């Protein structure tokens, strides 16, 4: 028996539109819901707060004055401002941005405490605000009033600690570890410095207690960059001890320009004791092989290790570094890492490309650690690898392409070459959780070759003119016969001469064809999460809807306030039913909108049911007709519905076992 499911979508969208009509102008106030807190931005950045669009219905020029009142929730009105006379021209539409709309520098403050704090720190205080505008002519006649909108002031995020990662173990041979955190971005007028504080965590203390109470092992409040190497003249970090560290950001006035008083979270690390592993418990590195030239900048690292039972639970730290000229591997492994990750698995593959170059050499090593004490159980040898001189650039792996002539790009480090490109649809069973395939599977004769091009002259289409480097950019001369939402795999082979022997092959990459994904030409992004539950009464448990194809489709919804039956038995003639809503079946009408039932984006939910769509939206959504009437006739009975017509997006689940959610998604052009 087939079960049916109910599906729910939880989506957050942000939009605000206020329209006022008075005498001879229409006004639309568009406000950034989270504007910049910095007064400098309000005065100089036209998009820091928002804009006022004035529709001049008389088509004659005249001057206006804009009065603004800004209130902080919980405090009341905090400031007012009055603009100088602004000339409206004869054009029907004129936009006034925030640099002319509200002048905080020239404002009149209604709260002295608020004024003092704002002038001292150069930014609005955090909180929820309401801004109201009144437009007058130069004679004081009110043309529009009560033009109001809410907005929220949030300070930038405090520094976020990057390295060492939380609960990390620093090698006992590394006396001068490097610390890194995210930089704080502020306007140029603000000069910021960072303070790093490192303390020992004593027995029974939490990291926060140690940071606030203990004498620092090291403290420096004059740092101007977000990377710091422990100095040689500082108090040595002792093996086996646990340390906590935190970073605080302050401006030139000694004030925090970010959330949380400028303070980062608190991380801890342990200086390893340096105990040598037992010979029978050495970690064996599996891949990459020593001196291997890998074909991708997202390589998979794997290793083998069987700890003794008394070691307890084990975790692993993988470290990858660039080897500098004339460095030994033992010295290079202490360089600043391009990858430093802790995992409980015996493999790791980065989700983002590593910054690898074909001309450089890299080293990697694995440490096995006790999950509780962070003591070193074993460490591997140090291996080195390079990047193969032939790598694919675009489309990236698992990318989405939106046209049947996608652009392919790759790079080859060496002399002039020729290339063969092949695109296949895999027909055999992959048996791979991430859809990766081997060379043998790719070569299987049952696979369908959808496109191939041989003997491509790399130098002729290279995007760079550099000795020893070709970066060919190739676009098929014909459409590739691809189907919507299908996966395709591609590979490039290299050879010295046309029709010659293949001397090397690239990795194999996958892409998905989605004609509704507009690539870089997007102005809207909507993300959310899908859950499902059984339709059986009494079953309320919900699960994430994972790995299911979904799409965004434009719909027109009539939310009617009257429903009249025409004709039929006398008892029903002229009867009006309660309000309701339905999707207008425009396919039956000669006035069908051009985007009716148009798919604007497709995608697939992830393991947690998350989805994200980026697409182009050129028309407003929401109410598009306040008094829309729709009539239907069936036999001797007709129906007439009247109400508001909405242009919305509906999320459609492309699986017959689930119903699609019926929420209206309303997103305006340029909105996330």
pLDDT of residue 189: 67
Dihedral pair phi/psi, residue 38, rounded to 5°: -85, 125
pLDDT of residue 311: 62
Q: Please give the C-alpha separations between residue 203 and each of 200, 243, 407, in angstroms, as whole numbers.
A: 10, 11, 59
CATH of domain 161-271: 2.60.40.10
Q: Which CATH superfamily is domain 18-153 in?
A: Immunoglobulins (2.60.40.10)
∠ at Cα 560 (554, 562), nearest 5°?
A: 160
The Cα–Cα gap between 534 and 298 comes to: 40
For 66, the enclosing helix (H) or strand (E) is: strand 62-72
Residue 618 DSSP SS3: coil
Torsion angle, CA of 209/211/217/221, rounded to 10 degrees? -160
DSSP state of 594: T
pLDDT of residue 621: 83
Question: In 218-272, which ranges are E strands?
Answer: 218-223, 227-229, 242-250, 267-271
CATH topology of domain 390-513: Immunoglobulin-like (2.60.40)
How many residues in total does the chain contain? 672
CA atoms within 13 A on the CB side of 226: 15
Q: What tens digit of pLDDT does each residue of 305-364 get?
A: 877 655 667 888 899 999 988 888 988 888 878 888 888 889 998 877 788 877 789 999
- As averages over each run of 10 residues, the pLDDT of the chain (672 residues) reads 35 32 70 81 79 81 90 89 88 83 83 85 85 90 88 83 85 82 78 92 91 91 90 85 92 80 90 54 86 85 79 83 88 84 89 79 90 78 88 82 88 86 86 72 91 93 79 92 90 91 88 68 75 70 84 89 65 54 78 81 84 76 86 68 90 85 81 68
pLDDT of residue 491: 94
The answer to whether 70 and 156 are in contact (CB under 8 A) is no
pLDDT of residue 566: 64
- pTM of this structure: 0.38
Write the class of the CATH domain 279-380. Answer: mainly beta
pLDDT of residue 285: 93
DSSP state of 358: T
pLDDT of residue 575: 47
Q: Where in the chain is the domain with CATH 2.60.40.10?
A: 18-153, 161-271, 279-380
pLDDT of residue 18: 34
Closest to 264 (Cα-Cα) out of 211, 218, 222: 211
Please report the DSSP string for 295-309 in residue order.
S-SSPPEEEE----G
What is the Cα gyration radius of the chain?
A: 32
Q: What tens digit of pLDDT does each residue of 150-188 get?
A: 888 877 778 888 888 888 888 777 788 889 888 887 777
pLDDT of residue 195: 94
């Amino acid at each position: 028996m087939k079960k049916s499911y109910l599906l729910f979508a939880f989506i957050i969208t942000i939009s605000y539109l206020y329209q006022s009509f008075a005498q001879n102008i229409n006004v639309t106030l568009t406000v950034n819901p989270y504007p910049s807190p910095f007064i400098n931005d309000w005065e100089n950045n036209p998009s820091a707060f928002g804009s006022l669009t004035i529709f001049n219905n008389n088509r004659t020029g005249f001057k206006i004055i804009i009065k603004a009142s800004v209130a902080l929730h919980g405090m009341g009105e905090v400031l007012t401002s009055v603009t100088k006379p602004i000339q409206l021209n004869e054009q029907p539409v004129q936009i006034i941005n925030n640099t002319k709309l509200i002048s905080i520098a020239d404002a009149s403050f209604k709260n002295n405490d608020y004024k003092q704090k704002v002038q001292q720190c150069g930014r609005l205080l955090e909180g929820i605000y309401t801004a109201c505008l009144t437009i007058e002519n130069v004679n004081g006649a009110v043309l529009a009033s009560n033009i109001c909108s809410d907005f929220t002031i949030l300070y930038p995020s405090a520094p976020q600690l990057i390295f060492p990662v939380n609960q990390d173990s620093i090698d006992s041979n590394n006396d001068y570890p490097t610390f890194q955190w995210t930089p704080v971005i502020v306007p140029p007028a603000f000069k910021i410095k960072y303070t790093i504080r490192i303390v020992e965590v004593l027995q029974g203390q939490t990291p926060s207690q140690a940071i606030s109470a203990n004498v620092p092992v090291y403290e420096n409040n004059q740092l101007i960059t977000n990377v710091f190497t422990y100095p040689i003249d500082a108090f040595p970090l002792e093996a086996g001890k646990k340390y906590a560290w935190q970073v605080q950001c302050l401006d030139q006035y000694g004030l925090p320009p970010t959330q949380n008083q400028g303070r980062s979270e608190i991380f801890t690390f342990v200086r390893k004791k340096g105990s040598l592993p037992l010979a029978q418990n050495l970690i064996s590195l599996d891949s990459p092989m020593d001196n291997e030239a890998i074909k991708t900048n997202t390589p998979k690292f794997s290793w083998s290790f069987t700890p003794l039972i008394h070691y307890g639970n084990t975790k692993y730290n993988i470290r990858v570094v660039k080897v500098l000229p004339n460095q030994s591997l033992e010295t290079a492994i202490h360089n600043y890492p391009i990858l430093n990750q802790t995992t409980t698995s015996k493999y790791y593959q980065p989700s983002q490309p590593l910054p690898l170059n074909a001309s450089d050499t890299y080293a990697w090593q694995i440490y096995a650690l006790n999950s509780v004490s962070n003591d070193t159980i074993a460490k591997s040898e140090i291996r080195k690898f390079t990047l193969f001189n032939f790598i694919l650039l675009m489309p990236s792996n698992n990318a989405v392409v939106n046209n049947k002539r996608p652009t392919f790009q790759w790079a080859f480090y060496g002399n002039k070459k020729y290339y063969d490109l092949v695109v296949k649809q895999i027909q055999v069973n992959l048996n791979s959780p991430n859809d990766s395939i081997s060379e043998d599977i790719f070569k299987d004769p049952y696979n369908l070759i959808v496109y191939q091009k041989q003997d491509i002259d790399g130098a002729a289409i290279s995007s760079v003119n550099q000795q020893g480097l070709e970066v060919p950019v190739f676009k098929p001369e014909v459409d590739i016969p691809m189907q919507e939402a299908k996966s395709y795999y591609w590979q490039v082979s290299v050879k010295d001469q046309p029709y010659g022997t293949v001397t090397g092959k690239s990795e194999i990459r996958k892409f998905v064809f989605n004609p509704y994904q507009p690539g870089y030409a997007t102005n809207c992004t909507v993300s959310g999460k899908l859950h499902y539950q059984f339709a059986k009464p009494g079953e309320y448990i919900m699960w994430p809807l994972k790995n299911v194809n979904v799409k965004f489709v434009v719909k027109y919804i009539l939310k009617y306030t009257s429903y009249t039956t025409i004709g039929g038995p006398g008892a029903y003639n002229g009867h009006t039913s309660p309000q309701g809503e339905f999707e207008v079946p425009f396919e039956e009408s000669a006035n069908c909108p051009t985007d009716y039932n148009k798919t604007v984006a497709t995608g697939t939910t992830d393991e947690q049911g998350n989805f994200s769509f980026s697409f182009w939206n050129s028309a407003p959504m929401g109410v598009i007709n306040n008094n829309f009437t729709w009539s239907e006739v069936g036999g001797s009975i007709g129906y007439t519905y009247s109400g508001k017509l909405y242009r919305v997006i509906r999320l459609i689940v492309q699986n017959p076992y689930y119903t699609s959610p019926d929420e209206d998604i309303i997103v305006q052009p340029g909105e996330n």
